[in-house]
Amino acid sequence: MISPSRPNSIPPGKSLSPMNSPPRPNTIPSDQHSSALDLSDKTQYALQCEEEIATASSLVEPEEV
């Protein structure tokens, strides 16, 4: 369990909430829209990571005897 008095912990008021973050260039005041953008970004990143992992694992696989 994480102790509440961590030096690196963010105070409750300082949490990164959408209200405090700078607006995006084409911000639409709809949580669904922004989360859809985030989701597509994360999906692209996940696919990229999966490709890299597949490439790396193919290099590390033991040779068949």
What pTM was computed for the model? 0.31
Q: Are 34 and 24 in contact (CB under 8 A)?
A: yes
Q: Are 28 and 34 in contact (CB under 8 A)?
A: yes
pLDDT digits (tens, 9 = 90+) for 9-57: 555 555 454 555 555 555 555 555 555 566 677 788 888 888 888 888 8
Residues 6+ apart with CB under 8 A from 31: 18
